[in-house]
Amino acid sequence: MPSNVEIKARVDNVSLLASKASSLSQSEGTIIKQRDTFFHCSPPGRLKLRDFMDGSGQLIFYERPDTDGPKLSRFSISLTSDPQTLREVLSGALGVKGEVLKERRLFLIGQTRVHLDTVEGLGHFMELEVVMRPDQTLVEGQQVAQELMKQLDVSEASLVGGAYIDLLQQNRPAS
């Protein structure tokens, strides 16, 4: 299974982080609108359908610890040209855990995907995904993530664990 080393952090100053990421990537980034539908799945994995809202999507299964700081994420991705019908099938078969709507600004810096996300109901976040090479160790991937965190001035205190869906469900009032 392919893997990444990932971190997620809250962002207070979106303009400053975007400027630093733009400078490091030598690009303005790519804007991507996404709707992630999470389905019930056996722990510790997560299953989501990412709808790019343009008729394309990805079904993604991943396993990742819910800890702060750089962590290993293993994943499998299947492309789809009909995310709406696939959502209906999976909703009926597995049930929906929840949805995350976001606008993502993607920057590519070396082997790392830097996401500056505006998540509906949560606010602004940054994710780093160090795309691991087959010969790289977890420690090497973590070092790449930590070095980029320093370059982007991302503090340890701003790191969060879990997925956006978990954060949204924590914020939801009990019924």
Please tell me the distance from the alpha carbon of residue 144 to that of residue 119, in angstroms, as a whole number: 25
Average pLDDT, the chain: 94
Identify the pLDDT of residue 66. 86
Question: Domain limits at 93?
Answer: 3-171
- The confidence score (pLDDT) of residue 172 equals 65
Domain containing 151 — which CATH number? Answer: 2.40.320.10
Q: Is the pLDDT of residue 16 over 90?
A: yes
Number of domains in the chain: 1
Confidence category of residue 1, pLDDT binned at 50, 70, 90: confident
d(CA 55, CA 40): 24
Could you tell me the pTM of the whole model?
Answer: 0.90
User: Peptide bond preceding 44: is omega within 30 degrees of 0, i.e. cis?
Assistant: yes
